């Protein structure tokens, strides 16, 4: 499961008789693996376990054949796992044998899938994740709102030039209040003239050393992000590529954190 910061969460494994609680995170930039907090309950990947990235950057795990109605949430900021309430019925492998999707209001729709015996489950239910409170911050979801689209002069006007940081306002836009300290959203690049990456962060950097969204030449590419706001409630974005390259950048905000 790819996290909103670009790292990859790997958890569980084994078969019916093996449900390990161990989990690790892979950093594709540093090419390193790091152990994280163990899961509250063991889960067997490939045995009915499904994962869903939530709008605030947390990860929802749902069941497996050993405990088909169970669920828990991983918070990558606090490095903690928290058990959720049980599903009304089992929806094993809903992501592949049914439907599992994040809704615009932050809830998760789970439909179909199979029960512990492998029979199809002809029902659906919606999971509502509690708002997070991490290091004193509380998360609030929003109906996604486009606050940056450089193609049409929304937030910033004109394409991004490689190696030049640009800053746009976030608070006061799309329902984000003045006291917000961080936001979640979807970062998109389109119309790029060369491969490269976008850096999105609270401080403007013409030559960033980390990336938020990596992409090749051609097509539009997007990634979910959780990012702290800079002074004055702003964010800065940089297109890193070869000299002379340009790209259009879009950002849709989906939630915010307040103290």
Q: Is 96 helix (H, G, I), strand (E, B) or coil?
A: helix
Residues 229 and 121 in one domain: no
Looking at the fold, whether 124 and 30 belong to one and the same domain comes out as: yes
Last residue of a domain, one of 130, 163, 191: 130
Task: Give the single-character DSSP code of 188.
Answer: E
Whether residues 98 and 195 fall in one domain: no
Are 157 and 114 contained in the same domain?
no
Same domain, 152 and 75: no
Q: Which residues contact 17 (CB under 8 A, 6 or more apart)?
A: none
Could you tell me if 141 and 52 lie in one domain?
no
Read off the pLDDT of each residue in 51-73 and give the average, rounded to a whole number. Answer: 71
**Domain with 96 in it: what CATH number?**
2.120.10.80
- Does 144 lie in the same domain as 67? no
Is 145 part of a structural domain of the chain? yes
Q: Give the strands of the sheet with 32-35, arranged side by side.
A: 8-11, 23-27, 32-35
Most confident of 51-60, 100-109, 237-246: 237-246
What is the domain count for the chain? 2
Q: Are residues 161 and 107 in the same domain?
A: no
Which whole number is the average pLDDT over 182-208? 92
> Do residues 40 and 63 share a domain?
yes
pLDDT digits (tens, 9 = 90+) for 218-228: 889 988 888 88
For 150, the domain range is 137-258
- Tell me, yes or no, if the pTM score tops 0.85: no
Residue 38's SS3 state is coil
Asked, for residue 2, whether it belongs to a domain, the answer is no
Asked if 235 and 188 sit in the same domain, the reply is yes
Helices (H) and strands (E) in the chain, counts: 1, 20
Task: Examine residue 1 and state whether it is found in any structural domain, yes or no.
Answer: no
Residues 125, 141 within the same domain:
no
95/183 same-domain check:
no
C-alpha closest to that of 59 among 113, 21, 116, 108: 108
Extract the tokens encoding 153.
């002069």
Encode pLDDT of 92-106 as tens digits. Answer: 554 444 444 555 555
Q: Which of 95, 114, 130 is where one domain is finished?
A: 130
End position of a domain, from candidates 130, 150, 165: 130
């Amino acid at each position: 499961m790819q996290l909103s910061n670009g790292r990859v969460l790997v958890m569980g494994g084994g078969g019916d008789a093996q449900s390990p609680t161990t989990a690790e995170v892979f950093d594709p930039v540093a090419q390193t693996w790091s152990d994280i907090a163990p899961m509250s309950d063991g889960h067997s990947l490939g045995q009915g376990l499904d994962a869903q990235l939530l709008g605030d950057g947390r990860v929802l795990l749902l069941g497996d054949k050993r405990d088909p109605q169970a669920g828990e949430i991983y918070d990558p900021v606090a490095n903690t796992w928290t058990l959720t309430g049980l599903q009304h019925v089992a929806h094993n492998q809903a992501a592949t044998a049914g439907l599992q999707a994040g809704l615009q209001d932050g809830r998760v729709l789970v439909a179909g899938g199979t029960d512990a015996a492998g029979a199809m489950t002809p029902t659906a239910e919606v999971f509502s994740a509690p708002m997070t409170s991490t290091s004193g911050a509380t998360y609030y979801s929003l109906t996604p709102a486009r606050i940056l689209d450089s193609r049409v002069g929304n937030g910033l006007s004109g394409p991004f030039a490689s190696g030049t940081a640009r800053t746009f306002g976030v608070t006061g836009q799309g329902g984000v209040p003045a006291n917000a300290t961080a936001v979640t959203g979807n970062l998109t690049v389109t119309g790029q003239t060369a491969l490269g990456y976008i850096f999105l962060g609270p401080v403007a950097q013409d030559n960033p050393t980390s990336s938020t969204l990596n992409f090749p030449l051609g097509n539009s590419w997007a990634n979910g992000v959780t990012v702290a706001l800079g002074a004055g409630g702003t964010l800065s974005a940089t297109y890193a590529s070869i000299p002379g390259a340009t790209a259009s950048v879009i950002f849709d905000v989906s939630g915010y954190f307040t103290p």
